[in-house]
């Protein structure tokens, strides 16, 4: 039986390993950093399964592949299906009209409905409600995939994958860039805050012409606040400006966020190809699966299916852009 | 013939910004499809330690003239530092000098602008100042060493078009030999055409293209518009009149038929 070696235990690697293992393949995983943790950028993700919202500024495959994600994740981790609420300050309402024109799958809601959905949002008279969207806790999701794989007998090697592996699948994100000439890093910064006085139950996006931001509830008064998107490959630390923008967004949603505790600051680089869509590339004995950009959880299921189709059945999904086996 | 921008004649009158596109691939396609000859690029935020390298390389690979900018700078010192970094990264003396004076309107701080323009010009930079339509400020910028002026059409990103055509026309008349660029505020191709019809030498825009539903189509539309406006200006258009003037004389017509 063929043994597949998945390299990298972030969301891409774990989803690929899961898909292969569930289809009956024999799989091992290599990651020198060990089980999922803060070393990988998927640890810092928002965990929104929001294909309709993302479609506003992304290519069509994000909408199509993204819709598979909610079902895929629901079978493997806890997914909260509470929708997404999009709001804007009064002066930025043109941005909301623009947002609405560019996507689908929402209902326009007025002051009463906004207040009914999220009583703790202050002063928003209009919104867009994307009822079919969902969210998950990324760290929990990674751990659930990890445990599921261990239960299936998948071996995790806490070391660098040996060179010359047959049937390798490289899911290392930006660490694989020496093999992927057109991969770049896009800096993202986020905060995790605790504000027990504020109760928001679903992801809320605050539109702004320059700095659109979102907040995702993680339960127990903990919120993820994200995320900047900067064409920079410096992941050393957050800038004061980004921190100000993130916190101002939270403050605009409810001034009580001013009393929140800042629990964590996350900075990392999203791996992205020029069109910001993921790719599957087979070069020699290695399949590269990469470029999830800001859509790690949204597109990992489709990426994993594409890899499994290629590895097991030699079927080329549309994510495969090069095959030089 | 187009005016010279510090010794360079632009291939066409469209300058495009490179921020806020859905992806670098769409940015590249917008440039290729429109043929825009100048790309402005911001360094302030992407800056630290040359970390924007991959993105900057993409801009350099567009094979157009690169005009780095100091977007996001609020003080002379910041702007001067950013300009020096830009010169290193893009190996160009050109700098679009932007000094923001007001957070909400992103209105230029013209006092600091003149000072920074003088410092940079003395240091060998070729400065493209983002300014208002004020004639005296324009004069001061020229005295400070600028050979190009870039007045706003409307606040950055507002898409309102030319807020003050009277003043822009006056600026054109006041500085007949200086290359003038309408920078900021353009939302529609008709706005860009209107700027060119006033006799401006180029139009610089970003949001109108980057945030359009189809950035590539909008970039092409903008190019068609600036070319149409330029041809219209150069063709010496007719004066508007209050009454009709038939293109065929009517008097005497009955006698001839």
Report pLDDT for B255.
54
**Predicted confidence band of residue B250 (pLDDT cuts 50, 70, 90):** low
For residue A230, which residues of chain B lie inside 8 Å, CB to CB?
45-46
Q: Among B135, B82, B132, which Cα is nearest to B110's?
A: B132
CA distances from A299 to A17, A134, A273 (A): 15, 14, 14
Question: What is the per-residue pLDDT across B53-104, written as a single tens digit (0 to 9) for each?
Answer: 788 888 888 889 999 999 889 999 999 999 998 898 888 999 999 999 988 7
| pLDDT single digits (tens) A35-74 | 898 988 999 999 999 999 999 888 899 999 999 999 999 9
Q: How far apart are CA B141 and CA B132, in angstroms?
A: 11
By CA distance, what is B207's nearest residue in A?
Answer: A209
Position B254 confidence tier, pLDDT thresholds 50, 70, 90: low
Candidates B3, B77, B93, B96; catalytic one: B96
pLDDT band at B51 (very low <50, low <70, confident <90, very high): low
**B4/A contact by beta carbon, under 8 A:** no
* Contact flag B22-A187 (C-beta cutoff 8 Å): no
**In chain A, which residues have their Cβ closer than 8 Å to the Cβ of B23?**
59, 272, 274-277
| Whether B253 is catalytic | no
Q: Name which of A98, A184, A277 is nearest B55 (Cβ-Cβ).
A: A184
Calculate how close chain A gets to B27, using CA atoms only, in Å.
9
Q: Does A101 touch chain B (CB under 8 A)?
A: yes
**A210:B157 CB<8 A:** yes
Chain A to chain B Cβ contacts (< 8 Å) = 55
Give the residue from chain B lying closest to A239, CA to CA.
Answer: B45
Element (H, E) at A15: helix A11-22
> ipTM > 0.85?
no
Cβ–Cβ contact B49 with A under 8 A: yes
Task: Give the pLDDT confidence score for residue A92 in this predicted structure.
Answer: 87
B203-246 pLDDT tens trace: 999 999 999 999 999 999 999 999 999 999 999 998 888 887 77
B61 CB within 8 Å of a chain A CB: no
> What is the separation, in whole angstroms, between the first and last Cα of chain B?
46
- The per-residue pLDDT for B45 is 66
SS3 track for chain B: CCCEECCEECCCCEEEECCCCCCHHHHHHHHHHHCCCEEEEECCCCCHHHCCHHHHHHHHHCCCEEEEECCCCCCHHHHHHHHHHHHHHHCCCEEEECCECCCCCCCECHHHHHHHHHHHHHCCCEEEEEECCCHHHHHHHHHCCCCCEEECCCCCCCCCCCCCHHHHHHHHHHCCCCCEEEECCCCCHHHHHHHHHCCCCEEEECHHHHCCCCHHHHHHHHHHHHHHHHHHHHCCCCCCCCCCCCCCCCCCHHHHC
Q: Calculate mean pLDDT across residues B159-164.
A: 93
Decide if A232 and B51 are in contact by the 8 Å CB cutoff. yes
Nearest-neighbour CA in chain A from B54: distance (Å): 6
Residue A184 and residue B54: Cβ atoms within 8 Å?
yes
The percent of residues above 70 in pLDDT, for chain A, comes to 100
**Chain B residues touching A236 at Cβ < 8 A:** 48
A301–chain B Cβ distance below 8 A for any pair: no
- Residue-wise pLDDT tens digits, A151-166: 999 999 999 999 889 9
Whether B257 shows a pLDDT value over 50: the answer reads no
Q: Tell me the average pLDDT across A84-95.
A: 91
Instruction: Provide the token pair at B245.
Output: 């003037």
pLDDT in tens, A230-265: 888 888 889 998 999 999 989 989 999 999 999 999
């Amino acid at each position: 039986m063929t043994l597949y070696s998945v390299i990298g235990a972030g969301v891409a690697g774990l989803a690929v390993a899961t898909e292969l293992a569930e289809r009956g393949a024999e799989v091992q995983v290599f990651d020198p950093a060990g089980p999922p943790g803060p070393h990988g950028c998927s640890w810092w993700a928002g965990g929104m399964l929001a294909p309709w919202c993302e479609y506003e500024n992304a290519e069509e495959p994000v909408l199509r592949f993204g819709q598979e994600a909610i079902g895929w994740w629901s079978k493997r981790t806890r997914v909260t299906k509470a929708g997404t609420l999009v709001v804007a300050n009064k002066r930025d309402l043109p941005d909301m009209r623009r947002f609405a024109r560019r996507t689908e799958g929402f209902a326009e809601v007025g002051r009463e409905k906004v207040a009914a959905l999220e009583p703790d949002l202050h002063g928003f008279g209009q919104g867009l409600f994307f009822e079919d969207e969902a969210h998950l806790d990324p760290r929990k999701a990674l751990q659930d995939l990890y445990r599921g794989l261990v239960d299936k007998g998948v071996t995790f090697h806490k070391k660098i994958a040996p060179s010359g592996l047959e049937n390798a699948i490289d899911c290392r994100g930006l660490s694989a860039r020496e093999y992927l000439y057109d991969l770049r890093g896009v800096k993202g910064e986020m905060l995790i805050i605790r504000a027990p006085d504020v109760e928001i139950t679903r992801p809320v996006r605050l539109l702004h012409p320059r700095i659109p931001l979102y907040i995702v509830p993680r339960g127990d008064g903990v919120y993820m606040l994200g995320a900047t998107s900067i064409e920079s490959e410096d992941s050393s630390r957050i800038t004061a400006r980004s921190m100000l923008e993130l916190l101002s967004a939270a403050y605009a949603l409810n001034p009580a966020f001013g009393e929140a505790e800042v629990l964590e600051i996350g900075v990392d680089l999203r791996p992205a190809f020029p069109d910001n869509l993921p790719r599957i590339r087979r070069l020699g004995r290695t399949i590269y699966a990469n470029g999830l950009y800001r859509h790690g959880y949204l597109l990992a299921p489709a990426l994993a299916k594409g890899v499994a189709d290629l590895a097991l059945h030699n079927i080329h999904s549309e994510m495969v852009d090069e095959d030089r086996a | 013939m187009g005016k010279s921008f510090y010794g360079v004649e632009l291939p066409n009158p469209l300058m495009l910004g490179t921020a806020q596109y859905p992806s670098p691939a769409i940015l590249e396609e917008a440039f290729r499809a429109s043929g825009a000859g100048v790309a402005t690029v911001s360094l302030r935020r992407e800056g630290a330690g040359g970390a924007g390298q991959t993105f900057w390389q993409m801009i350099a690979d567009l094979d157009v003239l690169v005009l780095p900018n100091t977007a996001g700078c609020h003080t002379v010192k910041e702007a001067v530092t950013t300009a020096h970094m830009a010169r290193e990264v893009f190996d160009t003396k050109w700098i679009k000098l932007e000094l923001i004076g007001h957070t909400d309107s992103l209105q230029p701080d013209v006092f600091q602008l003149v000072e920074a323009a003088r410092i940079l010009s003395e240091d060998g930079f070729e400065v493209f100042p983002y300014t208002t339509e004020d004639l005296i400020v324009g004069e001061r910028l020229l005295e400070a060493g600028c050979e190009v002026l870039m007045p706003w059409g409307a606040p950055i990103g507002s898409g309102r078009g030319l807020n003050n055509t009277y003043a822009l026309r006056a600026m054109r008349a006041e500085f007949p030999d200086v290359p003038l660029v309408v920078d900021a505020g353009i939302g529609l191709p008709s706005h860009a055409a209107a700027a060119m019809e006033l006799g401006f030498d180029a139009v610089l825009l970003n949001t109108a293209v980057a945030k359009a539903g189809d950035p590539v189509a909008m970039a092409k539309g903008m190019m068609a518009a600036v070319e149409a406006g330029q041809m219209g200006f150069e063709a010496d258009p007719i004066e508007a009149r209050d009454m009709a003037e038939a293109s065929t004389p009517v008097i005497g017509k009955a006698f001839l038929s």
